Structure 1
Amino acid sequence: MRKYVLCIVVCFNYVISFAQGIQDSVFRIPEVEISEQRLFQKADAGLKQTRVDSLVLLEKINADLSEVLAENTPVYIKNYGRGALSTASFRGTAPSHTQVSWNGININSPMLGMVDFSLIPVNIIDDLTLQHGAASVSEQSGGLGGHISIRNKVDWKNRFSGRYHQGVGSFHTFSEFAQINLGSATVQSKTRAYHFFSKNNYDFLNKHLLPEPEVQRNQNADYGRYGVMQEVYYRPLPQWQLSAKVWWQDAYRSIPTVLTDESSDDSKERINRQDDRTIKAVVNSGFFGDAWTFKFHSGFDFQEVDYVNGYTVNNEENLNVNSGSDMQSWYNQISCQYRFSDKITVDLKGDYNLYDIASYDTAALLGYDVTRQEASVMSAIYYEPFAPLQISVTLRQDWLEKRHTPMIYTFGVNYKPITSQNLVFKGSITRNFRNPSLNDMYWQPGGNPDLKAEKGYTIDGGLHYLLQKKQWSIESQFTGYYSQIDDWIIWLPGLKGPWEPYNLMSVEASGIEMMLKTRWSSGNVRLYLMANYAFTQTVNAGRGLSDVDISEGKQLPFIPIHSGNIFASAAYDGYYINYQHNSYSTRYLLYSNNQSDGLYPYHLNHASMGRRWHVNRFKINVELQVKNLFDEFYRSILNRFMPGRNYMLMVKVAF
């Protein structure tokens, strides 16, 4: 581990960085402005992108990314409990079909192919953008559902500023975050540090116990994380910008037993714990001319996961599982964009990635060690033949050693029927694929190196509307989509016992996404409202998994057909109140879709209220957050009841 830290320190001695600015203020909340030019761009022709508002990121600054996505986007988050594993289903696809990047480098686990969003704190995010469906191809392959981009930015006007947040809440929960920004017109530095801990010992009614339910306490469920992010930015010339960023984090969590466990043995102390450590670093360089743009980035991602399961008797450990995984990934990209004229722009990108993975279980004496190389080339042309019409064409070819990879593409169209109105019709068709993850191929026991890549295509279309006035604005999006994914990988019990992956399913995912956002301000009064709704139908369109299988045409497990969320905020003369609502319909546990095997719908409500004021140059904010406002009794997955009403008191200071 020391040699990797040393390499990153050396990189910092040679490269310092760039990005675009956000304003760091508790009072003047930086807003995501959607201009006419941004609404109608050649490079985004036919593609849907959603940018999470900075007001939402500020409201959720002590939370993790899974909360932001679940409560403010159409992405469904499968949450295994408070502080536990949280994975994404983007447009009804599998967690591995959502690609995630941090400042341009992919941070999906090479072993699992997915991201645990509970391990990403919101306080390290400056910009959060979702590329839906076809829009992900310009970033990388594999995003059959979509792509989520996390970025950090810089304010070149900043000279010295900072902030400190501290929170205390229910279930022995404590949160701290500090940030210092300093620099000049050519050099900027941003340093962030955070710590979060919770015993997570809430009470719940366990309805699974016989002969009658009883109130129990969530035990062996503590979790925490702490980390540091350092960013340095350098601008030697107005058109030349350099950057370097490092993010280190250590996270730990205990995993409680399932609710159906009625065993009791006071002589044994359970051990069920997971530790996640990561260090990510990226250096960027960009030259921005009148017609040419050159960019380069190189990044490193080290992820270490340790898991133990067993018990102790008389202070002696007896472990059933003692596993560890070391994942080292190197990412490199060079890109060039040339603007021939106002009508035609060409984009070229080249990527080379290297993965070195070691997985082991010292209790079961199993594991694997593998190295994998990937390369890709992307070319795109953005064309505006005449004012109301824009066209984008993207081609991407990936190379993976010893595996055939198809060429993928995206064709998108923007059409603006009335040039004086900000109404744009969008449509696209794309072909995409995802290679099996390393666990799919090499996990012991059960991995299958002969798995085929998952392949699919997506058609979507919709409209994007924006109306801006002096005191108010309204923005709306409506999108319909249809995807077919063949050779969908699914793990099933094997003939010899261990679970094994198979290319068995053909899946059709179709649905509707709707978004409405409006603002109004007058004097000291500010109002904000955002709402999302998603209709998601993801069904097995192929043959059954066996002769007695009745899953054909049925909704895939754990994917709600209906989901939606609302965020509303009102502020007056330093006082403010925020309200959050999100709902999910029934989620089936089995492919049979029997109501008896489903998780009931639930409707969550959260609220926060606070006061902001100035004390000399300091800006102080005191806020009370109430989670699960109406004490909803619900489960996100089977055998995991979630907490009832709970509270968090936050104090925020900025200067």
Structure 2
Amino acid sequence: MNIKQNNFFQKSLLSLAVIGALSSSTLVAASQESELAATEVITVTATRSQLNIDDALTSQVVITRADIELANPLSLLDLLATVPSIDIASNGGKGQTGAIFMRGTNSSHTLVLVDGVRVSSATAGSTSLNTISPAMIERIEIVQGPRAALWGSDAIGGVIQIFTRQLAGGELFVGASFGSENYQKYEAGAGIRHGDGQTSITLSKEQSDGFDVQNDMETDDDGYDYTSIAIRGQQKLSKDFSLDWLLSSDSGDNEYDGFYNGSDINNHAWLVRANYASTIKGIQNQTVFSVGQNRDHVDSLRDGVSQGIFETRRDQYALLNNSQLSADWQVNLGVDHYQDDVSKSSTVYDQGKRATTGVFANTLYTLNDWTFEATLRHDNVEDIDSENTYNLGLGYTLDADSRLVLNYGTGFKAPTFNDLYFPFGGNADLVSEYSESVELFYETKIAGVNSRFNVYHSDIEELIVWGGTQAENIDQVEIDGVEFAFNLDKFGGRHDVNFSYTDAKDKATNEQLIRRAKEKFNYKFTTSIQGVDVYGEYQFVGSRTDSVWGVGTVKLAAYQLLNLGLNYQLSDNFTLSSRVTNLLDKDYEMVSNYNSQERAFYLGVSYHN
């Protein structure tokens, strides 16, 4: 960090400290999150079976429905921006393309799931994150570090799993929000009880005139209009057998600058899952079979006229079994199979279909103060070399509130259809990207302060890059990172703080990978003042580089953001909410030559029975 950045950072922290000191004397220490923190948090993403987050040997962040309602985010990226070691790169805001970089890895190195369904594009390898409305989300589980041994391709930097809303039978909500740039959002949801089961239906529609997203000669506003629906249900058919299901759809259109100046989007995912519990010779088993599909469809437009369609479909099947051999020992076995299909795209690929099959075994065992985890997986990717990946974890409980965990894992990312077969630059000789990572973290609770300290190192080989005329496996990347996070409920409210340092370099050039900051700092403060829930969020993102065609490497300046939110319970059923984004009205870039949103205001009202 140079002197100018350091001064900038110190002044920002000083300003926040002064504000906090002046405010704390008048704040009442009432926080919804402090109550939630005392409850047991069960996750499924770390081991693909239900597990207390405190027993998992992984770095995890869970964002709950209460967190979402308190922050009033406009997008999924707003929620992810404050997670340690996650960089956000948006081409101009909510309606535009957005990417995440977890722990210095590429944007395609994070596996994104919706209720267990892979939702990335088989052509581009990315996931359409901005079309997923926060109104549809029940919780988000984020596992940082390689989990390819459990999930297969893409999980080099980590896994983000989004769970859609769950509403009890008879539960109902409706809401509307309005804001800057003619922003409008309408949402509703209902829970339906049917015997020993229930179904949740949620709807969201949002639109905005937007703002001019690109620094060029075209100065028009670039708006968007998205509609989302999710149906999630479950039915218990007997004491030991149940079904659950999901149907989600995101559709709409957005505008942007360039030759292609708009697109129509139509994505969907569905899943049917059967769950069977059994006991064999005293061993409790949970067997799950699921079948589902993800489709992403983008129609690129020029002045409203179609210029080409990209559509990929992925049929997905999984068979998992969790065996609880004892109170301290569990074993997970699984088979995954999915079939990618790009035959409906306007672009003709040399290969239009590809099958992938993976098998894995995972075990977690606790002996006194020690916990051991081992995972081994084999993936067979059609027309690509097979890959073997593994994870090893060792945890030691120092006392009731402290533990030390060491992890070692490998991961891979299979080339996309664009990498292999795109008519202009595809290379059918590509092999999968491969990673090795080691992580050590320590977490403890002292005097009511929960804290965690992580250090990690990753090597990625055979990185796929553009070689000038076609895609090539040429780059090797080395990543070193440090994370520190803590939270406490004192001084008038709840304080959540995290700092991360990420050094992600190309070994050949020794240059930092683009759009990834070395330094990131996040601070969130929540409290209640005379019945009003107050939310404050500060972000500092250090300088980054970007690559511009015809120019080369350019520098993106560091920036800071301050976002505020208020929630007021008007009655037992009605809530008034507001949000101010970029309160300091900072001018900054996440991607070179793309504008970011100026200060913006939002106000909403909702009914919940």
Q: TM-score range by the shorter chain?
A: 0.7 to 0.9
- Note if 1:490 corresponds to 2:465: yes
Match of 1:621 among 575, 580, 603: 575
Deviation at 1:34, TM superposition (A): 5.6
The yes-or-no answer on 1:304 pairing with 2:297 is yes
Preserved contact between residue 180 and residue 602 of structure 2 (Cα < 8 Å): yes
Deviation, structure 1 residue 185: 6.2
Change (3 A) 1:452 1:76: same
Confirm whether residue 408 of structure 1 aligns to residue 408 of structure 2: no
Match of residue 453 from structure 1 = 432
2:465 & 2:85 partners in 1: Cα distance?
24
Letter in 2 for 1:235: K
**2:148–2:411 CA contact under 8 A, matched in 1:** no
Match of 1:15 in 2: none
**Partner letter of residue 165 of structure 1?**
G
Counterpart amino acid of residue 634 in structure 1: Y
Q: Is structure 2 residue 369 aligned with structure 1 residue 376? A: no
CA apart distance, 1:347: 1.0
2-side partners of 1:199 and 1:598: how far apart?
Answer: 30
CA distance in 2, matches of 1:242, 1:153: 17
What aligned pairs does 1:496-645 form with structure 2 within 5 A after superposition? 500-519=470-489, 527-541=493-507, 543=508, 552-590=509-547, 597-614=554-571, 618-645=572-599
Instruction: Report what 2:114 is aligned to.
Output: 102
Kindly provide the amino acid, as one letter, of the partner of residue 322 in structure 1: Q
Query: In structure 2, what is the Cα distance between the partners aligned to 1:598 and 1:580?
Result: 26
Kept in 1: contact 2:92–2:213 (CA 8 A): no
Which deviates the most, 366-375 or 635-644? 366-375
Residue 191 (structure 1) aligns with: 201
- Residue 427 (structure 1) aligns with: 406
What amino acid sits opposite 1:231 in the alignment?
R
Structure 2 distance, partners of 1:271, 1:408, is 40
CA deviation after TM superposition for structure 1 residue 106, in Å:
0.8
Q: Which residue of 2 aligns with 1:326?
A: 311
**In 1, are the aligned partners of 2:72 and 2:578 still within 8 Å (CA)?**
no
Specify the SS of the correspondent of 1:131.
strand
Task: State the 4+ residue runs in structure 1 displaced beyond 4 angstroms.
Answer: 27-30, 32-45, 365-369
The equivalent of 1:111 in structure 2 is: 123
Higher deviation after alignment, 633-642 or 478-487: 633-642
- Matched to 1:324, the amino acid is I
Q: Which residue of 1 aligns with 2:149?
A: 137
User: What's the CA shift string for 1:114-162, capped at 9, x where partnerless?
Assistant: 213212111111120111113453233321111101123646xx33111
Change over 3 Å in CA distance of 1:466–1:110 after alignment to 2: farther
Contact 1:45 1:392 (8 Å CA) reproduced: no
CA distance in structure 2 between the aligned counterparts of 1:203 and 1:64, rounded to whole angstroms? 17
- Whether contact under 8 Å (2:213, 2:222) holds in the other structure is no
Partner amino acid, structure 2, of 1:57: I
Amino acid at match of 1:400: V
Query: Contact conserved, 1:71 with 1:565, CA < 8 A, in 2?
Result: yes
Could you tell me which amino acid in structure 1 is paired with residue 432 of structure 2?
A
Shift in alpha-carbon separation, 1:575–1:271, aligned structure 2, 3 A? same
**Separation of aligned partners in 1, 2:534 and 2:504:** 37
Contact 2:370/2:394 (8 A) holds in 1: yes
Amino acid across the alignment from 2:172:
G
Q: Deviations over 1:34-67 (max 9, x none)?
A: 6499999699553222112433211345522111
Q: Please give the alpha-carbon distance, in whole angstroms, between the structure 2 residues aligned to 1:186 and 1:322.
A: 49
Taking structure 1 as the reference length, what is the TM-score of the superposition?
0.81
How far residue 90 of structure 1 moved from its aligned partner, in angstroms, is: 0.6
Are residues 281 and 435 of structure 1, via their aligned partners in 2, closer, same or farther at CA, if it must alter by over 3 Å?
same
Residues 134-143 or 321-330, more deviating: 134-143
Q: State yes or no: 1:417 paired with 2:398.
A: yes
Q: In 2 relative to 1, CA 374–143 (structure 1 residues): closer, same or farther, beyond 3 Å?
A: same
Determine the C-alpha separation between the residues in 2 that align with 1:173 and 1:36. Answer: 35
Residue of structure 1 equivalent to 2:67: 56
State which drifts further: 78-87 or 139-148.
139-148
* Conserved 8 A contact 2:147-2:156: no
The question of whether the paired residues in 2 share the 8 Å contact of 1:286 and 1:294 is answered with: yes
Are residues 1:166 and 2:176 paired? yes
Q: CA deviation at 1:351?
A: 0.9
By how many angstroms is 1:339 displaced? 1.8
Q: Provide the C-alpha distance between the structure 2 equivalents of 1:568 and 1:504, rounded to a whole number of angstroms.
A: 44
Query: What is the CA–CA distance in structure 2 between the aligned matches of 1:43 and 1:465, rounded to whole Å?
Result: 11
AA paired with 2:556? L
Measured in 2, the distance between the counterparts of 1:493 and 1:169 equals 44
Residue 398 of structure 1: how far off its partner (Å): 0.4
Asked if 1:124 corresponds to 2:136, the answer is yes
Cα distance in 2, alignment partners of residues 645 and 153 from structure 1: 30
Tell me how far 1:166 sits from its aligned partner. Answer: 0.5
1:481 matched to 2:481: no
Q: Are the structure 2 counterparts of residues 359 and 101 from structure 1 closer, same or farther at C-alpha, using a change threshold of 3 Å?
A: same
Say whether the 8 Å CA contact 1:531–1:566 is kept in structure 2: yes
Q: Contact 1:47/1:135 (CA < 8 Å) preserved in 2?
A: no
Equivalent residue number for residue 436 of structure 1? 415
Gaps of 5+ in 1: 1-26, 210-216, 258-269, 312-316, 495-499, 544-551
Instruction: Give the deviation of 1:235 after TM superposition.
Output: 1.5
Distance 1:436 1:596 in 2: 25
SS in structure 2 at match of 1:464: strand
Aligned to 1:266: none
Amino acid at match of 1:534: S
One-letter identity of the residue aligned with 1:341: S
Can you list the C-alpha shifts for 1:261-296, whole angstroms capped at 9, x where unaligned? xxxxxxxxx761111101210011212346111111
Residue-by-residue CA offset, 1:157-195 (whole Å, 9 max, x unaligned) = x33111111011011110111011121661212111110
Corresponding residue for residue 11 of structure 1: none
- Shift of the 277–501 alpha-carbon distance from structure 1 to 2, 3 Å rule, reads same
Measured in 1, the distance between the counterparts of 2:41 and 2:564 equals 33
The alpha-carbon distance between structure 1 residues 235 and 106, as it changes in their structure 2 partners (threshold 3 A), is same
Larger Rg computed on CA atoms: 1
Following TM superposition, by how much is the alpha carbon of 1:613 offset from its aligned partner in structure 2, in angstroms? Answer: 2.9
One-letter amino acid of the structure 2 residue matched with residue 118 of structure 1: N
What SS class does the counterpart of residue 146 from structure 2 fall into?
A: helix
- Residues 388-444 of structure 1 deviation map (CA, whole Å, 9 limit, x = unaligned): 0000000000011232222110000110022xx221111111111111011100112
Distance 2:533 2:169 in 1: 29
Residue of structure 2 equivalent to 1:343: 328
Q: Which SS does the other structure have where 1:417 is aligned?
A: strand
Alignment match of 1:389 (pick from 370, 374, 399): 370
Secondary structure class of the residue paired with 1:31:
helix
User: What amino acid is the match of 2:315?
Assistant: W
Contact 2:191 2:201 survives alignment (8 Å)? yes
Shift in alpha-carbon separation, 1:37–1:279, aligned structure 2, 3 A: closer
Q: CA RMSD in A?
A: 2.8
- Cα distance in 1 between the residues matched to 2:139 and 2:444: 22
Q: What amino acid maps onto 1:355 in structure 2?
A: D
Aligned counterparts of 2:110 and 2:317: Cα–Cα separation in 1: 20
Offset at 1:607?
0.8
Q: TM-score, normalised by structure 2?
A: 0.86
The one-letter code matched in structure 2 to 1:376 is: G
Q: Offset at 1:224?
A: 1.6
Cα pair 2:132 2:228 within 8 Å, conserved = no
Q: Matches of 2:261 and 2:74 in 1, distance apart?
A: 24
> How has the CA–CA distance of structure 1 residues 100 and 301 changed in structure 2, closer, same or farther, with 3 Å as cutoff?
same
Q: Identity percentage over the alignment?
A: 18
> Partner of 1:279 in structure 2?
268
Tell me by how many angstroms 1:577 deviates: 1.6
Look up the SS of the partner of 2:80 in the other structure.
helix
